[in-house]
Amino acid sequence: MRNILIFIIISCAVSLQSQDRLFTYTYQSNVLNKSQKEIEVVTTFRNGRNNYYRALKHRLEFELGLGSKIQTSFYLNYSYSNRVVENYGVQSFESNVDYNFSNEWKFKLSDPVANAIGSALYFEYTLSPSIMGYEAKIIFDKQLGNIIQAFNIVGEYEMENMYKSNGNKIDISLLEEKVFELNYALSFNLKEGLSLGIELLNQNGLSKSFNLEYSTFSGGPCLSFNQGAYWINFTILPQITNLLGFERELNNHEKFQTRLIFSYEL
């Protein structure tokens, strides 16, 4: 009987490793097996601020399992946005395009099936001519039968050089962004290869002196489909409220965002 239980646990863990995430914003502790490789295409759409705003961000990721419960990923990122900005009562239309590179490292500490709780550490850095960013996550998850839960504690820090014409000179200023984030996700396996769930995000913006500027709360349904060598995750995530004033924060965040991930095992 004991050997049968061990076999079931190992079988569940291996099946989970063929797809290291069921959610699009919330990460799980599983990593790819050694030499296992995947290509992921991630597209995020954001829409709706106080003034007109729409943005798309694409990430092309190459993911590689290194063994010893470690995996790494390399991203090529491309984003563009259109928005209306207002200065001293005068509105103008602005378009932004950005290309950058990211590298991710993920270290699995415990398993969500074999251990009491799954856990992992995550670190990512981003580089471009004008932006340098860092992101760290502490990941927890647990699988009980057909139900999978995940919880992330996330910290982000980004520095961006801003350029502005001043006569015959260019003034350069540094824009800093500090974000503390809590993510929770729950998924129920409807049948083999198909899961339905919900994701909840609490994003907190911090000032230079680490004062809380906003605390947005967003939530919506997520769907995951796995078929052979590929899988697809999709989440719809409207902003529900700003926990500081119980009105939506539409200066730095959008009314609505959605994300689609397509992954193929090489």
pLDDT tens-place string over residues 28-72? 999 999 999 999 999 999 999 988 999 999 999 999 999 999 999
List strand residue ranges (DSSP E) for 48-89, in order: 53-67, 70-87
Query: What is the total residue count of the chain?
Result: 266
Tokens standing for 181? Answer: 């984030």
Asked whether the CA dihedral 244, 248, 251, 257 is positive or negative, the reply is: positive
pLDDT, residue 122, reads 98
User: Which whole number is the average pLDDT over 148-164?
Assistant: 89
**Domain region containing 224:** 2-265
Q: How many domains does the chain have?
A: 1
Tokens standing for 231? Answer: 């899988």
The answer to whether the CB of 200 falls within 8 A of the CB of 193 is no
Which is nearest to 219 in space by CA: 248, 245, 191? 248
Rounded to 5 degrees, φ, ψ at 229 are -85, 0
Q: Is residue 137 over pLDDT 90?
A: yes
Note the Cα 77 to chain centre separation in Å: 13
Degrees (nearest 5) of the Cα angle 143, 148, 151? Answer: 100
**DSSP per-residue codes, 86-118:** EETTEEEEEEEEEEEEEEEEEEEEE-TTTSSSE
Mean pLDDT estimate for the chain: 89
The answer to whether the CB of 59 falls within 8 A of the CB of 68 is no
pLDDT, residue 40, reads 97
Task: Report the alpha-carbon distance of residue 86 to residue 80 in Å, rounded.
Answer: 19
Q: Return the CATH number at 107.
A: 2.40.160.40
Q: For 177-224, how does the pLDDT look when each residue is reduced to its tens digit (9 = 90+)? A: 999 999 999 999 999 899 999 999 999 999 888 899 999 999 999 999
Q: Is residue 15 over pLDDT 50?
A: no
Task: Report the alpha-carbon distance of residue 44 to residue 24 in Å, rounded.
Answer: 10
**Local confidence band at 25 (pLDDT 50, 70, 90 cut-offs):** very high
